[in-house]
Amino acid sequence: MLELSPFLGVNSILGVCYSQAMNEAKPTRTQRRTEDMRRAIIEIASRILAEGGIAALSAEEVARRADVAPQTVYNRVGGKGALLAAATESAMLENRRHMDAAYATPGSPLERIQRVGAAYRRFAIEQPIQFLLLASPPNDLETAKPLIALVAEQNTKLEQALREGIACGEVRADIDPAAMATALWGMFNGVLTLGVRNDGFRLKDAAWEKVLASATSVILEGLADRQTQP
């Protein structure tokens, strides 16, 4: 318990309390190392999932790649189920960071939709392992539940942008916003996967950029209301 002298003024008391709170909130070196190890373990688990799927993931394989004892993996994250959940959560949070920033950018509905697509592309390029985990989610219902919720959340935002586009006459009125949002999500997943997958179907950079540009052009042309175009 903090003991204070009766001669301390209010400002001094607040200063002592603030200093104590800061000291309590600041993580220790041990805590920082523990968190760093946890992040490293999750990153390795994500890489294993992207390379070989759920069957390849195990605490022992993560420990081998991290050059630590298996018990360290269990202590920092847990077994296979916990590793799968942690890797999925990490991918979700990283994707949300990219997408929320795009949706918050001012612009017309079609401009925002285009920026959202560009943000998803950046996510795939900067975090290919996390992207592949989201594009090809684990076939585990419990682990997939939060991922399903995230997809629904993001698709709802895309659906709203489409509705706004219809309302202002920028987007064709004959589309179903909910169905189109899901279709756009599926199409972009497919095209982006071609640029980051780890097999013979992966497209080289220049070819991938052409395919991506072609898909984007077709999508925007298909969404635009021609009657409002000059």
C-beta separation of 131 from 192 below 8 A: yes
Can you tell me which residue has the tokens 């220790």? Answer: 28
Mean pLDDT of the 81-104 span = 84
- Confidence at residue 213, expressed as pLDDT on a 0 to 100 scale: 92
Q: Is residue 6 scored above 60 in pLDDT?
A: no
> Does residue 1 carry a pLDDT above 60?
no
pLDDT of 5 > 50? The answer is: no
pLDDT exceeds 50 at position 153: yes
Task: Give the mean model confidence (pLDDT) for residues 104-118.
Answer: 90
Local structure of residue 204 (DSSP, 8 states): P
More confident residue, 127 or 70: 70
Q: What's the CATH number of domain 87-228, 2.40.40.20, 1.10.357.10, 3.90.79.10, 3.60.15.10? A: 1.10.357.10
Q: Extract the tokens encoding 44.
A: 């390795």
User: How much of the chain exceeds pLDDT 70, in percent?
Assistant: 84
Residue 49 φ/ψ region, left for φ over 0, alpha for ψ in the -120 to 50 degree band, beta for the rest: alpha
* 77 DSSP assignment: T
Q: What is the pLDDT of residue 126?
A: 83
Domains of the chain, residue spans: 87-228
**Quick one: pLDDT band at residue 133, thresholds 50, 70, 90?**
confident
Q: For residue 26, report the phi and psi dihedrals to the nearest 5 degrees.
A: -70, 125
User: Cα separation of 77 and 83, whole Å?
Assistant: 6
pLDDT at 93: 82
| Per-residue pLDDT at 227 | 61
Query: Phi and psi (nearest 5°) for 171?
Result: -115, 145
Confidence at residue 18, expressed as pLDDT on a 0 to 100 scale: 47
Which of 14-28, 30-44, 187-201 has the lowest average pLDDT?
14-28
**Amino acid symbol at 102:** A
